Chain A
């Protein structure tokens, strides 16, 4: 009985995350295409995608290599793009603290934006779920998303060389990033953080090694955090 329920939790996670594949697949295709255009071979593109499994960070790394940034700046900026996942980790942790080491490692590997968002929502809706149900639900949401992320990348890498340059596919990169950010502009603090980062980045664009991007990101974070702190202090 219990195992039937658990099985259906996996299926529910799987179905809940199917719409996300509409977004993840094209994002994977973009990474495959621009990775191939940047000079990575098929093995490098696919290893990148399978091991890192974080689209925004992967595309950031490619972009910075294209700008001739030093290796350490490439790594540091791409990891900064992933810093949000520490937050995901912190909010998922109490739900699966009783799981064994392998399950925890698997959850960590699969903790993509969509997997996190869908799972946390259902965990909060269903406080009575067992650890097994919580894990199966998360693995259910991760299955289509991760699979289509790999397949999208593969498709993009294989089609990459065939796409003519005058299609201006490069435009997909900033648009995909803006589309990731825009739905998150919920409060005035989020808007200010984005605006400050944007302006500082343009002002500091002359700086070598893309240092301006890192400084602008930190300025935006500080602006958002400060505005939030002041609002809380006045309440």
Chain B
């Protein structure tokens, strides 16, 4: 049994392809140069910093790979990724710090 069996995978790909294109095309092709209402811009500014943490929080707290048991190595790696990414403003250094600390603590922790 694979994770995607039972899903209409081609319909999902099509919906995401069309939806993503329309989001990117929205102002360039459809709405033109009319400015967005300020309240909407304000909310859009915070979508990535809100949606992505909301998504990863349960993954980190109760990882599927450990059967839902909280794993210190994953939490340490997550903390370091955020810290390094925040300090260096570099996505690359953040990922590297996270991965290195994850594999280091995996091999050191019992």
Contacts and interface: CB of A to CB of B under 8 A. Distances in A.
A72 B71 CA distance: 31
A79 B19 contact: yes
B54 A89 contact: no
B56 A185 contact: no
Interface size on A, as a range, is 35 or more
The A contact surface, by secondary structure, is: helix
B108 interface: no
The B contact surface, by secondary structure, is: helix
Interface string B60-80: 111111000000001001100
A182 B85 contact: yes
A174 B59 contact: yes
Interface of A: 22-23, 26, 37-40, 44, 47-48, 51-54, 56-58, 60-63, 65-67, 71, 74-75, 77-90, 92-94, 96-97, 101, 104-105, 107-109, 111, 168, 170-185, 189-190, 193-202, 205, 212-214, 216-225, 228-229
A225 B86 CA distance: 20
Interface residues of B, number: 76
Contacts of A85: 20, 23-24
Contacts of A65: 3-4, 7, 12
B49 A193 contact: yes
Interface string B28-64: 1101110110010111111111111111111111111
A177 B52 contact: yes
A89 B25 contact: yes
Given A71-B12, A179-B91, A183-B94, A198 B53 contact: yes
